[in-house]
Structure 1
């Protein structure tokens, strides 16, 4: 499995998310400017709600920007234990320890991208091939680490 290509796809997906959030923020700002009419105080509440929405979108955008920066530290090298940048194959599926992006399809396989801070990554951290771990009272065996 080509980790460089996988990282490139994740980087692209994060870039798309960044563009979407920037567009949403821009559109919401435009909406906020439209409400600055001479209608009076009754629209102040609406403008405040739009400002809160802009702030919320900005927080989400900043989180994705942090993920994109973090992805630069993920090296496409082979791993012999579960660590940042490892692709872990368990009986339940494939997990890429990188950023929290959810499920993607790569080389006709479903891979779940999880952050190092996720409970699953924490419980697998440092384990090796054929080790067994338990999460939520379910045991899983590590079949392979790439």
Structure 2
């Protein structure tokens, strides 16, 4: 498995999300400016709702920026145990420990990107190929680690 290409896919996906959130924030702020009027309280309420939406988008953008910082520290070197940056194959699936971005497809294989803080990774952290772990009463065996 070429972890460097998987890492590039993840970095690209994060960059796209950052761009998307920045665009949404800019559009929401622009529409907030459009609602300025001397008509009264209902416009103030509308502006407040838009400001809350901007704050929500900003919070989500900050989360993605934190994920980007984590991913920037990951190298594509082979791993011998489960740790941040490891690509882990279990009998239940393929997991890349980096940032929680959901499923990506690489070489026609589905890979779940998971955070090192996730319960799954905490359950298998530090383990090596051939070892087993249990999460939600489901036994999994680590088949290989890259």
Q: TM-score range by the shorter chain?
A: over 0.9
Segments ≥4 residues shifted beyond 3 Å = none
Q: Secondary structure at the match of 2:113?
A: strand
Q: Secondary structure at the match of 1:85?
A: coil
Two-structure CA RMSD over aligned residues (Å): 0.7
Moved more, 40-49 or 117-126: 40-49
Deviation at 1:64, TM superposition (A): 0.5
TM-score (norm 2): 0.98
Provide the residue aligned with 1:103 in structure 2. 103
Structure 2 unpaired stretches of 5+: none
Structure 1 unpaired stretches of 5+: none
Provide the residue aligned with 2:132 in structure 1. 132
CA–CA distance in structure 1, aligned partners of residues 123 and 82 of structure 2 = 10
Q: Secondary structure at the match of 1:68?
A: helix
Provide the residue aligned with 2:18 in structure 1. 18
Deviation at 1:45, TM superposition (A): 0.8
Moved more, 68-77 or 116-125: 68-77
